[in-house]
Amino acid sequence: MATLRTFGSATAHRARRLGSPVVPFLTNRWTRVALVAVIGLAAGYLGLIFGGRYVTPVGPTDVQLSLQPSLNGGTTLKLPPLGSLRLDTHEGPVTLEARLTDLRPDQAKKLIEDDTEIDRLTDRIADQIRHGVIELLVRAVLIALAASFLASLALFRSWRRALLGLSSAAAGLAALTLLTWTTFNPQSIAEPRYTGLLANAPQIVGDARSIVERFSAYRAQLARLVGNVSELYTTTSTLPTYEPDPSTIRVLDVSDIHLNPAAWNVIKSVSTQFKVDLVIDSGDLMDHGSKAEDKFADSISDLKVPYVYVRGNHDSKETQRAVARQKNAIVLDGGTREVKGLRIYGVGDPRFTPDKSTRDDFVGADQLRAEGLRHANELRASGTTPDLVVTHDPSEGEAFSGVTPLVLAGHTHTRSTKILPTGTRLFVQGSTGGAGLRGLEHEQPTPIELSVLYFSRATHRLQGWD
C-alpha cells in the first residue's frame, strides 16, 4: 500500500510538472476573454450568413435577398438562366445577393393594362427594395446576436461570458457596418460585370450609362414583352377541356425556343390540355450554344412525355449532349427511332451560327439542299421509309421530298406549310420562344407558335393540326 501511495504521488507530481506551461495559458484572464470574443464573432458571422435571407416583392416579381460570405464584398444580381451581374458596391466579408425567383403574370398584366401603373412603378419598386433590405438586415442582425449569445453560453456555461460573446458580435457588426459605409461606391451601377449569357448584354442593350439615358424606351419594350407573356399565360390556362380521339397519335410540334423560359410553361400547358403523346423540337433550343445555357435543357425532363430533338444552327454539339442527358429526350442526328408508334428520322443542322462571326453563316440554301440530298439518298439505300422526317432548315428538309410523307422544320420563325411536287408535305413551325430576344427587334413582337399534329394510329399519316 505504501508503495502504491508513493507511485501515485510521483505520478501526480510529474503530471503537474508536465502541465505547468499549459495551465497558466488556459487560466490567463486575457486569453479567456480573447477566446470568448473569437467564439462570439464566429457564431455571430455564421448567424449573419444563415439568417440573412428574405424574399421581397419587387413589382410583378419576387426577389430573394441573401447575405453570402465573400472576400471582396459587392452586390450580385442573379437572373437565372441568363446569368448574373456584379456590382462593386462595397468591400468586406459579406456580399449582398439578389436572385429573381418568380414572376406573377396577373400583376404583370395589370401593370401593362393600366398606363398609370407604369408611372408609379419606379417609386414603388424603390420602396419595396428598401423595405426588403431593411427586413433582411434586421433579421440577420438579430439572428447573429442570438447565435453569438447562445454559442458562448453553451460553450462556457456562464452568463457573464455569454454577454461578452454577444458584445464581441455586436462590435463586429458595428465594424462591418462602418467598413461598408466608408467603402460604399454609388458609381458601381455604371460599371457592372456580367457573367453567363448576360456577358452579351452590353452588345444587346448598350452600356449601363446608355441604359440610364434610354430608360423610357427600354421600359416600354419590357412592358410590351411582359404583357405578351401575361396574355399568353391567360390564354393557355383557359383552353377548353379536350377529350382525345383514341384513334389518333397527338404530337406537339415546337421549334426555335431560343432560350425563352416562358416557352416551357406554354409547352406544359398545351401538352396537358391536348394530352399529347410526344413533343418534337426541330432545333434552336438555345441562342449561343454555350455551356452556360446547358441548364436550360433541364426543363425537358419536366414534360413527362418523350421529347424528340434535332440540333438547330444556334445549338452546339454540347447543347445536343445536354438534351441527350434528359431521361425523356430522344436526340436524332442521322438516325431513325420509333416513338409512340411513329417512325421518325431526324438530322441536326450542319451549321453552327450563334452569331455572324462563324464561317458556317455563309452556307447557302443550295448547300443545305445538297446536304439534305446526301442524307435522303442514304435513307433510301437503307430501305427504311419513316413516317416523318425532322430537320431544322426547310431548305434541307425539301431534299427529303418523296422519301417520307411529312417533313417538319423550323428556322424561319414563321409557320407555313406546302405540298412538294412528290406529294410530301413540308410543315414549317414558327418560333415557340417568340425568337427570344430577337422578338423585340421588330415593331410587332414575334408571335409564340406551336402546333398539335394528329396522326392516324392505323396509317401513321397526318390527319390535321391545331
CATH number at residue 288: 3.60.21.10
Q: Are residues 97 and 69 in the same domain?
A: yes
Number of domains in the chain: 3
DSSP H/E element including 170:
helix 159-183
Mean pLDDT of the chain: 80
Q: Are residues 194 and 213 in the same domain?
A: no
Is this structure's pTM higher than 0.75?
A: no
Tell whether the model's pLDDT for residue 3 goes beyond 80: no
Q: Are residues 230 and 308 in the same domain?
A: no
Q: Are residues 305 and 432 in the same domain?
A: yes
- The torsion defined by the Cα of 141, 147, 148 and 150, in degrees rounded to 10, comes to 140
Tell whether the model's pLDDT for residue 408 goes beyond 90: yes
Asked whether residue 436 is assigned to any structural domain, the reply reads yes
Tell whether the model's pLDDT for residue 17 goes beyond 70: no
- The torsion defined by the Cα of 347, 352, 356 and 361, in degrees rounded to 10, comes to -50
Confidence label for 191 from pLDDT (cuts 50, 70 and 90)? low
pLDDT of residue 16: 46
Taking residues 142-163, what's their average pLDDT? Answer: 91
Q: Are residues 105 and 119 in the same domain?
A: yes
Chosen domain end from 187, 219, 238: 238
Question: Cβ contacts of residue 153 below 8 Å, gap of 6+?
Answer: 159, 161, 162, 165
Chosen domain end from 188, 221, 238: 238
Asked whether residue 109 is assigned to any structural domain, the reply reads yes
Q: Are residues 83 and 229 in the same domain?
A: no
Q: Which of 150-154, 190-194, 328-332 is the most confident on average?
A: 328-332
Asked whether residue 3 is assigned to any structural domain, the reply reads no
Q: Are residues 175 and 212 in the same domain?
A: no
Asked whether residue 13 is assigned to any structural domain, the reply reads no
Q: Are residues 389 and 271 in the same domain?
A: yes
What are the angstrom distances between the C-alpha of 26 and each of 17, 29, 34, 40, 288? 15, 8, 11, 18, 62
Confidence label for 212 from pLDDT (cuts 50, 70 and 90)? very low
pLDDT of residue 373: 94
DSSP for 346-395 reads E---S---SSTTSGGGG--HHHHHHHHHHHHHHHHHHT---SEEE-SSHH
Asked whether residue 21 is assigned to any structural domain, the reply reads no
Asked whether residue 430 is assigned to any structural domain, the reply reads yes
Taking residues 367-392, what's their average pLDDT? Answer: 94
Q: How many CB atoms lie within 10 A of CB 261?
A: 15
Q: Are residues 196 and 328 in the same domain?
A: no
Q: Are residues 168 and 279 in the same domain?
A: no
Report yes or no: 402 and 415 within 8 Å, Cβ to Cβ: no
b vs e for 69-87, b when ≥16 Cβ sit within 10 Å of the residue's Cβ? ebeebbbbbbeebbbbbbb
Asked whether residue 10 is assigned to any structural domain, the reply reads no
Domain that holds residue 338: 245-353+363-465
pLDDT of residue 276: 95
Q: Are residues 335 and 195 in the same domain?
A: no
Bigger pLDDT: 100 vs 54? 54
Q: Are residues 183 and 313 in the same domain?
A: no
pLDDT of residue 86: 80
Asked whether residue 1 is assigned to any structural domain, the reply reads no
Omega within 30 of 0 (cis) for the link into 81: yes
pLDDT 10s digits, 103-128: 777 776 666 566 566 566 656 777 88
